[in-house]
Structure 1
């Protein structure tokens, strides 16, 4: 997976571009091809909200472009609240409505850091009888794991910086940015 690019000048007073819209679009096309190569059956794409919604929307369109016709659902899990550091316990805020038994489920999340949320979601799908629970993340911070999990599909390796944009937030701000950016050091008290 591609490494982070050097940080250019800030695009806003407190955010600097880490991965541009063009870089993200290219990588999503590559991820869609890799997912199609895994030959999923009865695929259910399950976006972990809120941070993954932009990534999930672009990825599902790219999956359509490579010939897959998945269904899409959403699950809301929380381990952050309004904090920048995970509190550790994961809870289901809004559950998936579809029966996952016997299906391939592709869990989409914005960032794999501690691993708690993604491991929780993957275990939940397995307990509910998913044929296969695969994981796809836009970003990963490999050195931050507290739960032993690796994503099946990864967009980018991410430096240990607090990132926003492309659906990811800082206390509900910055989700609308069309790129992934780094919040200035004085704002980034924690990490994603």
Structure 2
């Protein structure tokens, strides 16, 4: 299915808003079973903000009372390829030591961002650090990291929507799709 997106590009839908909603609820149940009801949830901004908001509501519905903080990391700049180096643009403020932490990210591709965040929070004394990604692109890893919770395996396409962008466009789309060429 294709839809006309802002700025005239045609976007093919990979994962509909309905499919995402169902999967987010399933992930929340799995997370509560593994991490309990009071994790510190740390979304990696900007791409994961919509996924993280939906996941937090689903965690509440699953009986959790998570705390939340944010970290902003960048490895892409304004392009579509990872620059290979992760930069902290905004750091967490919450106490990390002794806590169970769930890092939330939009996509696991090279793995650099997720590995960086996981190592950082572990070094700050987290009791346990687990990770949840909406999308996993198998075969693209540049570092050894695996998500503990994954929404969907993603084909090798540059995806947009549901918080993910290309040059800061298309984040607002309620689905995950790719730009038709």
Q: Shorter-chain-normalised TM-score: which range?
A: over 0.9
The ranges of structure 1 where at least 4 consecutive aligned residues each deviate by more than 4 angstroms after the TM superposition are: none
Residue 42 (structure 1) shift: 4.0
1:31 paired with 2:30, answer no
Identify which of 147, 151, 154 aligns with 1:151: 147
> Map of 1:58-137 to 2, 5 A cutoff?
58-137=54-133
Q: TM-score, normalised by structure 2?
A: 0.95
The answer for unaligned runs of 5 or more in structure 1 is: 1-7, 186-192
The match for 1:16 among 5, 12, 15 is: 12
Q: Secondary structure, in 3 states, of the residue corresponding to 1:62?
A: helix
How many angstroms apart in 2 are the aligned matches of 1:123 and 1:77?
Answer: 13
Deviations 1:42-70 (A, max 9, x none): 41000100000000000000000010000
Root mean square deviation, CA, Å = 1.0
Q: CA deviation at 1:11?
A: 4.1
Q: CA deviation at 1:40?
A: 3.1
How many residues were matched structurally? 178
Tell me if structure 2 keeps the 8 A contact 1:43–1:103.
Answer: yes
SS of 1:106's equivalent in the other structure is strand
Q: For residues 86-119 of structure 1, what are the alpha-carbon distances to aligned partners after superposition, in whole Å with 9 as ceiling and x for unaligned?
A: 0000010000001100001000000000000000
Post-superposition offset of 1:41: 6.4
Q: Does 2:172 match 1:179?
A: no
Unaligned ranges ≥5, structure 2: none
